[in-house]
Amino acid sequence: MKPYHALETLAIHAGEAPDPQTGALRAPIHMASSFELPGFGPKLFDALMMESERPPHVYTRWSNPTLRALEDRLTALEGAEAALTTASGMAAVASLLFTLLASGDHVVASEVCYAGTVELLGEHLPRFGIDVSLVNTSDLAQVRAALRSETKLLYVETPANPILRIADIPALARVAHQAGALLAVDSTFAGPMLQRPLDLGADYVVHSLTKYLNGQGDAVGGVVLGPREGIRRVRQDMLIHLGGAMSPFNAWLILRGLTTLPLRMERHCANALQVARFLESHPRVERVVYPGLESHPHHDLARRQMAAFGGVLTFQLKGGLGAAVTLAERIRLFRYATSLGHAHSLLFYYPTDIYLDDVSYLSPAQKHRIRAWMGDGILRASIGLEDVDDLIADLDRALRGRTLKGLIAPLAYRLLSRR
């Protein structure tokens, strides 16, 4: 059969074929926890020791036909050699880090990324004797200065959650490889339709499948993609021993979601750009951060590195906390909730003090840099698939209103912070 390369085609066909027994066009959900062993001999040894890339299925924590179908599709979309699915995005991040790093090693990582990731890096890896340097990975000079002879990994999130910094993947790959280190990229905010880090020089890619790759807000999962031998090590060393295996039902849901990924990302990106332009011109908005705007400091890099600019933007309001509370009270189409990549639009407020207070692993200089991006706080908006004019009208109505909670929120916050 002729191999297909267009991502739109791979999103539908890769890893899945009509069921050979029934002819069903959708692959079945294999909910079995155990599988019949192949008998004594080399095949049994291969299955139990996980020595090959595609060993026979033994136990669903190790591998499963539905999980393998999802892994095959993600491998094709990302242009990787192999993939390993996990129970969540954080399971993917942790599995990769604990496979590649050991006591005495050093990792350089983004100072701003998903909260669970930066907390794992800043609080927990040092407990295992792994030294961590958190830097602004959008600044090559900072990255170079942080690298050491013991550095084994450069870990980058781009676009960075929640402040949407963009890191130069090809340049970082060169810097890491010259230092004898590997480069891993969390590409969750972009996904393979917008950015393929392996093609740009990265060694590993991780995604939270919960977000755009599923797209429905109904399944949690993660994936690590990279070289065959590296992924085999992650499966053998971490998945089996730490147990962060994905449910086959979640894998089936994410497979379903992937079929519409190209169409969804086109709409997410188009809607987000229009909303960003609207907000940038709104009299009650202080600042909008979106890679698709020329005002973004890394706009030119995003144009070179990404096919489009994603569905997430952040913005600051002139009224600070009170205005943010008012917006949350008055918004109707947007759901005030965490996460991103859903069909419906989501909105969430990050107060800077709460985001940065009691974070011992960031220096005063790092906190100052982050405050320069966040101000007193930022609103993160995941722009969904609704009609964009309806979204803009909803935002405009909410921004122009006033609520009692919005008026008293700043005073209440100041009183509580003094206690």
Interval 263-278: pLDDT, tens: 999 999 999 999 999 9
Pick the catalytic residue from 211, 233, 235, 369: 211
Strands 377-382 and 346-351: antiparallel
- Greater pLDDT, 351 or 83: 83
Residue 414 annotated to the active site? no
What confidence tens digit (pLDDT) does each residue in 179-210 have? 999 999 999 999 999 999 999 999 999 999 99
- Note the pLDDT of residue 207: 98
Is 318 marked active-site? Answer: no
Q: Which residues contact 268 (CB under 8 A, 6 or more apart)?
A: 212, 310, 311, 341, 383, 384, 385
287-328 tens-digit pLDDT: 999 999 999 999 999 999 999 999 999 999 998 888 888 898
Please give the pLDDT value at position 407: 59
Active-site entry in 43, 46, 59, 61: 61
In this prediction, residue 2 carries a pLDDT of 45
CB 242 within 8 Å of CB 222:
no
pLDDT at 44 (0 to 100): 64
Contact residues for 158 (Cβ-Cβ < 8 A; gap 6+) = 110, 137, 138, 165, 166, 167, 169, 185, 186, 187, 189, 190, 195
Catalytic residue among 68, 72, 114, 196: 114
State the catalytic residue, choosing from 72, 105, 168, 186: 186
Concerning whether 186 is annotated as a catalytic residue, the answer is yes
Q: Would residue 211 show up in a list of annotated catalytic residues for this protein? A: yes
pLDDT at 51: 59
